[in-house]
Amino acid sequence: MVTYALARQYPAQFRGAMILDVAFPGLEPWGEIEGRPQFWHIRFHQTNLPEKLVIGRLADYFRYFLGPAHFSEQEVAHYANAYSDPAQLRSILEIYRAFPENGKFNLAHQDRLGLPIIFGAGTQDAFAEFVPRIAEALRVHGCANLRTVMVENSAHYTFEEQPRALIELIRKYASK
């Protein structure tokens, strides 16, 4: 989301952008995504309840989202420690709380954007089914040079799950 906003505001500063595993507030099918049970955390994180529930339980909280197949206990402990200060935890949750404003920004930017954009998700990601519709919404909103990619055998944490595949994608598109 941040990459898209930066590309919209400062396209001359980029040769291209790669955006993976994200939908865009305000653009279709955002409303449908928000309403799906598997994305319950979007609305939950927009409230002030997470701070009240997870302080003192951050390792459990992060373990829930960071699966053991790709994140060690040491890595989970690192995240729990990094966000143990309530201000730090609040800062990461503010990303979700900014979604309504992000939606307004995204809807307001429909001018042509010729910057090459690679957009996609992992094939096992809950967002995967939405990639074609999200890509179409981006095109309708002016992204004239958009390509979609799917990363095989990857879900939400592409770099941790398929680092070599992601590196190859970056090499392939960054060299153009």
Whole-model pTM: value is 0.93
Q: Which candidate, 19, 6, 47, places its Cα nearest to that of 120?
A: 19
Residue 124 DSSP code: T
Question: Would you write out the chain's pLDDT as a tens digit for each of its 176 residues?
Answer: 999 999 999 999 999 999 999 999 999 999 999 999 999 999 999 999 999 999 999 999 999 999 999 999 999 999 999 999 999 999 999 999 999 999 999 999 999 999 999 999 999 999 899 999 999 999 999 999 999 999 999 999 999 999 999 999 999 998 86
What is the predicted pLDDT for the residue at 65?
A: 95
CB 1 within 8 A of CB 26: no
Amino acid occupying residue 140: V
In words, the CATH class of domain 2-174 is: alpha beta
* Per-domain boundaries in the chain: 2-174
The three-state secondary structure class of 176 is coil
End-to-end Cα, the chain, rounded Å: 23
